Amino acid sequence: TAGSFNVNLPLFGPKLGVECRTGGNSGVFKMILTFPTAITLDSTSVTPDPNAPSATASVSSSSVSGSTVTVNLTGVSNAQTIFVTLSNVSDGTHTNDVSVPMGVLLGDTTNNGSVTSSGSPNDVILTQSKVGQSVTSSTFREDVTVDGVINSTDVNLVQSTVGTKLP
């Protein structure tokens, strides 16, 4: 692979953060959350999308190191919005639950909640335009196979998901 890259996951607002790269056959993803100060928490859980009847997801492990929380997810199915909940997050002064939404839509390289091959934005054309380029912080979304190269395999995978969208 070409390393780890960040997908912004806004907590609020109309724009959802969407992971468009494959999680492999086991639907494995890692969510790293950074807080402004060191925190503690009681537990982590994930809720699959209630609007996607066959949606699945589970937390395989989680850890806290200072202000960073790492949540390892498995069994995350495609075409859904998951909600990762951190229970009783405390900075020593305030304690609250924190819920972080993340869209999971294989091939959505344009980050708009649907995989398209016509019009604008167009996931297939965007991925084709990056073939042969190095995987960097500005091109990692087009490496949907997460193998460290952007090539025809990525384009074919995006093409195979055209028409898929988040519920």
Question: Looking at residue 1, what is its pLDDT?
Answer: 58
pTM (whole model) above 0.85: yes
Give residue-wise pLDDT tens across range 149-164: 999 999 999 999 999 9
Question: Looking at residue 91, what is its pLDDT?
Answer: 97
Query: Does residue 50 have a cis peptide bond before it, meaning omega lies within 30 degrees of 0?
Result: no
Average pLDDT over residues 57-68: 98
Cα gap 115→121, rounded to integer Å: 9
Average pLDDT over residues 55-82: 97
Give residue-wise pLDDT tens across range 105-135: 999 999 999 999 998 889 999 999 999 999 9
